[in-house]
C-alpha cells in the first residue's frame, strides 16, 4: 500500500524531481558546459542535454513503478553510451544514477517521513541500485564496443597491407 502511496506522491512531483536530477547531471560537467546543457532546448543543437532530459524522465517512471530491464534499456542506453566516450572515470560515468537518492531525500525527505513512507523509500532506493547495476553492464558493453572498433581498424589496416603484398589467399568458396 505504502509503495502505491509513494508512487502517487512522486508522480505528482515528477517534473520537479527530474529537473533537479538533471541539474545533478549538469553539475558533473564543467560549469560552461553544464549551463549550456540546461539552457538549449533544441534536441539537435543539444544532443547530450536532450538525451538526458528524455532519458531521466523515462528512468524516473521505471524507478517509481518498478524496474524492468527491457523497459529501462531504451532510456538508459543512450545516456551511458554518451558517458562512456566522455572524460569520466567509470564511477563518475554512472554516478548520476545514484544521485537520484540524494535528490529525493534532500528535497522530499521530510514530507516522505511525515507521511510514513520511509520504508517504501528504502525499497525504491534499491530499485535505483538495480538501475546502477544495469548502468554498469551497459558502460562495459560500450567500452568493449570502443575497443572492438579500435581493434577492427588495426585489423583492417594490417589486412590491407597483407593484401597489397599479395599474401592473402582468397577462399574459393566465397
Partner 1 sequence: MSDLPKSDEYFSQIDHKPPKLTGWMDTPINIRKGMYCYASNPKSVETLGLPYARPWNPLEDDWQLPENWQQIIHEGLKERLERFRSFKIFMDICVRCGACADKCHFFLGTGDPKNMPVLRAELLRSVYRNDFTAAGKILAKAGFGKQIGARPMTLDVLKEWWYYFFQCTECRRCSVFCPYGIDTAEITIIGRELLNLLGLNIDWIATPVANCYRTGNHLGIQPHAFKDMLEFFVDDIEEITGVRVDPQFNKKGADILFITPSGDVFADPGTYTCMGYMILFHFLKEKYGFDVTWSTYASEGGNFGFFTSHETMKRLNAKMYLEAKRLGVKWILGGECGHMWRVINQYMDTMNGPADFLEEPVSPITGTKFENAKSTKMVHIAEFTADLIKHGKLDLDVRRNDHLKVTFHDSCNPARGMGLLDEPRYVIKNVCNHFYEMPANTIREQTFCCGSGAGLNAGEDMELRMAGGLPRANAVKHVHKKHGVNMLACVCAIDRAVLPALMEYWVPEVDVTGLHELVANALILPGENDRETDLRGEPLPGTEDDTNE
Helix and strand numbers (H, E) in the chain are 7, 0
**What does 24-39 look like in DSSP terms, one character per residue?**
HHHTTS-HHHHHHHHH
Nearest distance, CB of residue 138 and partner 1, angstroms: 13
User: Which residues would be at the binding site for partner 1 (CB under 8 A)?
Assistant: 27-33, 36-37, 40, 42-48, 51, 81-82, 85-87, 91-92, 95-96, 99, 142, 145-146, 149-150, 152-154, 156-157, 160, 164
Half-sphere exposure of 12 (CA within 13 A, CB side): 6
Nearest distance, CB of residue 30 and partner 1, angstroms: 5
**C-alpha–C-alpha distance, residues 69 and 39, integer Å:** 31
Nearest distance, CB of residue 33 and partner 1, angstroms: 4
CB nearer to partner 1: pick between 8 and 27 = 27
Amino acid at each position: 500500500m505504502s509503495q502505491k502511496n509513494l508512487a502517487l506522491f512522486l508522480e505528482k512531483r515528477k517534473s520537479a524531481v527530474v529537473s533537479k536530477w538533471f541539474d545533478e547531471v549538469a553539475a558533473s560537467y564543467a560549469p560552461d558546459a553544464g549551463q549550456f546543457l540546461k539552457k538549449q532546448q533544441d534536441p539537435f543543437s543539444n544532443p547530450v542535454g536532450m538525451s538526458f532530459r528524455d532519458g531521466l524522465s523515462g528512468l524516473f517512471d521505471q524507478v517509481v513503478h518498478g524496474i524492468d530491464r527491457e523497459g529501462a534499456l531504451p532510456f538508459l542506453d543512450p545516456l551511458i553510451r554518451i558517458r562512456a566516450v566522455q572524460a569520466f572515470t567509470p564511477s563518475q560515468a554512472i554516478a548520476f544514477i545514484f544521485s537520484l537518492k540524494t535528490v529525493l531525500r534532500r528535497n522530499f525527505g521530510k514530507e516522505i517521513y511525515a507521511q510514513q513512507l520511509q520504508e517504501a523509500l528504502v525499497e525504491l532506493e534499491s530499485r535505483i541500485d538495480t538501475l546502477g547495476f544495469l548502468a554498469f553492464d551497459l558502460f562495459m558493453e560500450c567500452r568493449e564496443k570502443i575497443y572492438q572498433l579500435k581493434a577492427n581498424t588495426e585489423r583492417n589496416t594490417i589486412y590491407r597491407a597483407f593484401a597489397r603484398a599479395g599474401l592473402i589467399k582468397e577462399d574459393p568458396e566465397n
